[in-house]
Chains A and B, each alone.
Chain A
Amino acid sequence: MSEMSVHAAVHAAPTSFIRKYVFSLDHKVIGLQYYALAMAAVVTGMVLSWIMRIHLVWPNSPVPGLGWLSKVGAPGGVVTPEYYLQLMTMHGTLMVFFVLTNAPFAAFGNYFLPIQIGAEDMAFPRFNMMSFWTTFVAFCILISAFFVGDGPPLSGWTGYAPLSAVGRDAGPGQAVGQSLWGVSIFVFCIASLLGALNFIATTLDLRSKGMTLSRMPIVSWAWFITSCISLLAFAVLMPACLLLILDRVAGTSFFIPAGLNVADHMQQHQGGSPLLWQHLFWFFGHPEVYIAILPAIGIVSHILICNMRRNMLSHKVVIYCMMAIGFLSYMVWGHHMFLSGMNPFSALVFSFPTLMITIPATIMTLIWLGSLYGSNLRINSASLFCLGFISMFVSGGVSGFFLAQPSIDIYLHATYFVVGHFHMVMGVAAIMGVFAGTYFWFPKMTGRMMNETLGKWHFFLTLIGTYAIFMPFHYLGLAGNVRRYSAFQDDFLVPLIPVHKFITYAALFTGAAQLIFIYNLIYSRFKGEAAPPNPWECTSLEWSTPSSPPPFDNFGGQHPVVYHDPYQYGVTSSTGDYLMQTSPERAGETP
């Protein structure tokens, strides 16, 4: 029996509603499903953060509606200390896993990677569908923690043992809630591994004719590098979660030492190591934050190049920097553990590569800045968010410089300085990358343009708002304001409450500004101005699909042939000052 021959004829898209929109194999639909899930997660996570911020500055005032939602956690609408921590745990878990790993990577990557490399779909469409639905199941398991027993876990998204491992004795939410958390993350790992596998195989094997690796757009490279990091990182988190679950339900002692007296109950475990959890978790956790930022770096670079109408000083150097960051990300996890009790000499060992990561990050920033010089940058919502990204990336990166040094970390560890740092890079910069991608690719995904005026308002209010929220976090950190506190009662914390009030107002303001985006998204989807096929005059393959949104197999039965590297801008051609990658024309230079 011979191998099946593959034919290039156009295949009819699935016709049933379920096959088209629910259990779809189409990477575009799956990408949108991931985006929708990320939206649900980010709205939930943001609401949680508002409740947290309101509680911090008005601890005795009831939050409207909360008493009805959660009678146990917020009797009469007033958040209890444990409920604050539970909200905080869910906020972190939702944001890091279900927003930052999903939106820039799984959502946009699924949608656009195959198209950008000229493929009809991902390498394993069924795995792709399974990936999304497994992520959805993980999300449901996590959310269910709100509705069980005494609620979600309170050990933070980092779930340090033994607090997370000993069970009910450690506090409310530490029984069923914590177990659900462990299972949810475990399931999420499976989904992520399947996704990473798909991205890697697709990038390596499904590139269209003429699409060599060096002709891939920078954002495809970012997704590819991210998927390599993701593969190895989630592969470590999975066994860690397994061991945690076993400690909780099977009586093992991987993370729990002997002799613990928790709430007057002697724990029967012995010989485990809390530090082992930290090592395993952060070995995943640090690459995870680069998984969050690298796709945004790729998206922002890609969009900037298009709007500058010329290539960067060198987009290849940026790609090498991304690879360097990916590689170094595996060597620095101990910088989360300087004061953890691990060998103090290791602190210096981890500090060195941590500081070294500054180099590729600086190179990228300098290239962005240097590329802006002499450019003719088009200003639109997408490019504005790219500029906002650069600003935030610098701000957030600079605070990392402090934390990378163990001696300074002695003072700044576990203060709001750390919280400011990671929110700026992850919570703002990466999200700005997502916004930029949304405004940029919306015309291709829907055939309509988003409203530019609303987009600009969204951008400026968000830029001002996020700086107003997170810059003061650093001041609080310098004052020694400890993090993960549900109330500020210590002598040295009370004078800082006015700063917290300012931040809370800024947070609510910024949250409200996001309504502009949601309105714009929904309105434009149905009533937005019709988009031309290539509104941004961009050269990469997604803009050469025959329709917007692209047809089921992306290129309408054709297999694109690629003639050029991805950033032929500033050239003379029949299309203007750019050449599509798929155009067989040769480039002339602009005079």
Chain B
Amino acid sequence: MGGKIFAVLVVVIALLSAVPIITHTFLGASVTPPDDISTHGKAIDDQLSVTMAEAGISFLAAQLILGLFVWQFAHRKGGATKTFPGGATAMVIVAFLFVGAEVLALGMVGSKAWGMVYFQPAADNALQVQAQAGQFAFYFRYPGPDGRFGALHPEKIDEGNSNFFGLDPENDILARDDITAGELVVPVDKEVHLMMHAKDVGHSFYVRELRIQQDFVPGLDLSVHFTATKVGKYEIVCTQLCGLGHYNMKSYLNVMSQDDFDKWLKSQSN
């Protein structure tokens, strides 16, 4: 009796679990990645879909077979016990072939998507922006008309006077025209090279729509590059536990047309 209940339950649970994956909603909320606004995102999304299909089939098959076998074979009255044809050897072979092939395929295909993000350096003419993550805010810096960033002096950081990066414009010519902003404003369809600096502890940069996530590591000069393909405002959130304000550490990626961006940049310099 318990066996049959289990069998039914496990099948019902498996099927119910699959529903939100297929319908992309659960309890009224959308539970799927948001539309992709990046140039590399499609490769990631395709990878995700293929994996979901394979994982989903494996999951459903395994749970259904588990339910079926328990239904059929638990507490049976009499009857000779049968052995699964092929025995353990068959299982080993199936596992190696099936999983091995799957793994190789996904691994090899997936490395292309990974490579698009990480193995290619940023284009030479990419827009250079520096991001600084600190407890509990993101700030962004543009090099200004001279095209070069001033040096950072962490000991000079003074949030009260909006010197978030610790610049020293008095003594550092390069720092004088640097533009600091609380949002990451970028032109659409232009590659951005985001240099990432951590002020205090580890943080992370995550924009769901961009399919980008990268940790800020204190002491390391890290960077990511991306091209946003759609105008709009998208949330940037911190995903590396950084202290009590971690839940509230966010900013916006503001993708504008090239004209609007130029206007914005100009207005910041003044």
Binding site for B on A (CB under 8 A): 80-82, 85, 154-156, 160-163, 166, 170-172, 256-264, 266, 272-275, 309-310, 312-314, 317, 339-341, 344-345, 347-348, 351-352, 355-356, 358-360, 362-363, 365-367, 369-380, 384, 387-388, 390-391, 394-395, 398-399, 401-402, 405-408, 410-411, 413-415, 456, 460, 463-464, 467, 471-472, 475-476, 478-480, 482-492, 495-496, 498-499, 502, 570
Given contacts A352-B107, A408-B51, A499-B31, contact A489 B247 (CB under 8 A): yes
Which residues from A are CB-within-8-Å of B103?
Answer: 355-356, 358-359
Residues in B lying within 8 Å of A, measured CB to CB: 1-3, 5-6, 9-10, 13, 17, 20-21, 26-34, 43-44, 47-48, 51-52, 54-55, 58-59, 62-63, 65-66, 69-70, 73-76, 79, 81-84, 87-88, 90-92, 94-96, 98-100, 103, 106-107, 110-111, 113-114, 117-119, 134-135, 154-155, 157, 166, 199-202, 204, 206, 208, 211-215, 217-220, 222, 235, 237-248, 250
- Are B154 and A260 in contact, with the CB atoms below 8 A? yes
Partner among B59, B134, B219 whose Cβ is within 8 Å of the Cβ of A272 = B219
Q: Are B48 and A408 in contact (CB under 8 A)?
A: yes
Establish whether residues A171 and B244, one from each chain, have CB atoms under 8 Å apart when the complex forms. Answer: yes
Q: Nearest chain B CB to A163's CB is how many angstroms away?
A: 4
Do A258 and B219 form a contact, CB below 8 Å, given A363-B92, A376-B81, A491-B235? yes
Task: Assess the A370–B6 pair: CB atoms within 8 A.
Answer: no
Query: Would A490 and B235 be within 8 Å (CB), given that A348-B114, A378-B75, A394-B62 are in contact?
Result: yes
- Please give me the 5 A-B residue pairs with the lowest Cβ-Cβ distance, nearest first: A257-B219, A374-B82, A314-B88, A407-B113, A344-B118
A259 shortest CB reach to chain B, Å? 5
**Which of A81, A399, A480 touches B55 (beta carbons < 8 Å)?**
A399
Give A7 to B134 CA distance when docked, in angstroms: 69
Contacts of A408 in B (CB 8 A): 44, 47-48, 51, 110
29 A–B contact pairs at CB < 8 A?
Answer: A82-B244, A160-B240, A162-B202, A256-B218, A341-B214, A359-B100, A359-B103, A366-B94, A367-B88, A373-B69, A374-B82, A377-B70, A378-B74, A384-B2, A387-B70, A391-B10, A391-B63, A391-B66, A401-B51, A405-B47, A405-B51, A405-B110, A407-B47, A413-B239, A456-B2, A463-B9, A472-B20, A482-B237, A498-B29
Chain B residues within 8 Å of A405, by CB:
47, 51, 106-107, 110
Contacts of A370 in B (CB 8 A): 84, 87-88, 90-91
User: Are B20 and A475 neighbours in the complex by a CB distance under 8 Å?
Assistant: yes
Please, which residue of chain B has its CB at the minimum distance from the CB of A486?
B247
A261 touches B199 (CB 8 A): yes
A352 to B162, CA, bound (A): 46
Instruction: Tell me whether B99 and A170 are in contact (CB under 8 A).
Output: no
> For residue B118, which residue of chain A has the nearest CB?
A344
Which residues of chain A are near B13, meaning CB under 8 Å? 391, 463-464, 467, 471
A460-B96 contact in complex given A261-B157, A369-B65, A372-B66, C-beta closer than 8 Å = no
A272 to B217, CA, bound (A): 11
Return the chain A residue nearest B156 by Cβ: A261
| In the complex, residue of chain B having the shortest beta-carbon distance to the beta carbon of A390 | B66
* A261-B166, A275-B217 known; A359 vs B88 contact (CB < 8 Å): no
Shortest C-beta distance, A416 to chain B (Å), equals 10
Most chain A beta carbons < 10 A, residue from B34, B94, B107: B107
Least Cβ–Cβ distance between B180 and chain A, in angstroms:
16
Is there contact, CB below 8 Å, between B73 and A374?
yes
* CB pair A373 B82 closer than 8 Å: yes
Residues of A within 8 A of B55 (CB): 398-399, 401-402
Nearest to B201 among chain A residues (CB) is: A163
Question: How far does the alpha carbon of A394 sit from the alpha carbon of B55 in the complex, in Å?
Answer: 10
Say yes or no: A163 contacts B242, CB within 8 Å.
yes
Tell me the complex Cα distance, A172–B219, Å: 23
Let me know if B114 and A464 touch, CB within 8 A.
no
Given A317, A369, A401, A472, which contacts B66 in the complex, CB threshold below 8 Å? A369
Chain B residue at smallest Cβ distance from A502: B27
Known: A261-B200, A377-B70, A490-B235. A156 touches B241 (CB 8 A): yes
Kindly state the separation between the CA atoms of A160 and B201 in the bound complex, as whole angstroms: 9
- Contacting B84 at CB < 8 Å: which of A156, A313, A394, A398? A313
Q: Do B248 and A387 touch across chains, with their CB atoms under 8 A apart? A: no
Tell me whether A170 and B5 are in contact (CB under 8 A): no
Q: How far is the CB of B27 from chain A (nearest CB, A)?
A: 5
Report the separation of the CA atoms of residues A407 and B119 in the bound assembly, to the nearest whole angstrom: 12
B31 and A406 contact, CB distance less than 8 A? no
The answer to whether B59 touches A406 (Cβ under 8 A) is no
Contacts of B94 in A (CB 8 A): 366
CB of A476 within 8 A of CB of B213, answer no
CA distance A376 to B55 in the complex (A): 30
CB distance from B64 to the nearest CB of A (A): 10
CB pair B31 A478 closer than 8 Å: yes
Q: Are the CB atoms of A170 and B201 closer together than 8 Å?
A: yes
Q: Closest B-chain residue to A495, C-beta based?
A: B29
Q: Which residues of A contact B21 (CB under 8 A)?
A: 475, 478
Q: Please name all residues of chain A whose beta carbon is closer than 8 Å to the beta carbon of B204 when the two chains form the complex.
A: 339, 414
* Chain A min CB distance to B129 (Å): 18
Shortest C-beta distance, B223 to chain A (Å), equals 10
* A411 B5 Cβ-Cβ under 8 A: no
User: In the assembled complex, which residues on chain B have CB atoms less than 8 Å from the CB atom of A486?
Assistant: 244, 246-247
Separation of A480 and B35 alpha carbons in the complex (Å) = 12
* A478 contact from B33, B63, B220, Cβ within 8 A: B33
Tell me whether A485 and B246 are in contact in the complex, defined as CB-CB below 8 angstroms, given that A260-B200, A266-B155, A348-B114 are known contacts. Answer: yes
Across the interface, name the chain B residue whose C-beta is closest to A362: B95
Residues from chain A with a CB closer than 8 A to the CB of B29 are 479, 495-496, 498-499
A394 close to B81 (CB less than 8 A): no
A377/B74 in contact, CB under 8 A: yes
List A contacts of B245 (CB < 8 A). Answer: 81
Q: Is the CB of A348 within 8 A of B111?
A: yes
Contact partners of B247 in chain A: CB under 8 A? 81, 485-489
- B118 engages A480 (CB within 8 Å): no
User: Are the CB atoms of A274 and B244 closer together than 8 Å?
Assistant: no
Q: State the CA gap A360–B88 with chains docked (Å).
A: 12
A82-B244, A479-B32 are known; give 20 further A-B pairs, CB within 8 A: A263-B200, A344-B114, A348-B114, A366-B94, A367-B91, A369-B62, A370-B87, A373-B82, A374-B73, A375-B81, A379-B3, A379-B74, A395-B59, A410-B213, A411-B48, A414-B213, A475-B26, A479-B33, A486-B247, A498-B28
Contacts of B33 in A (CB 8 A): 411, 478-480
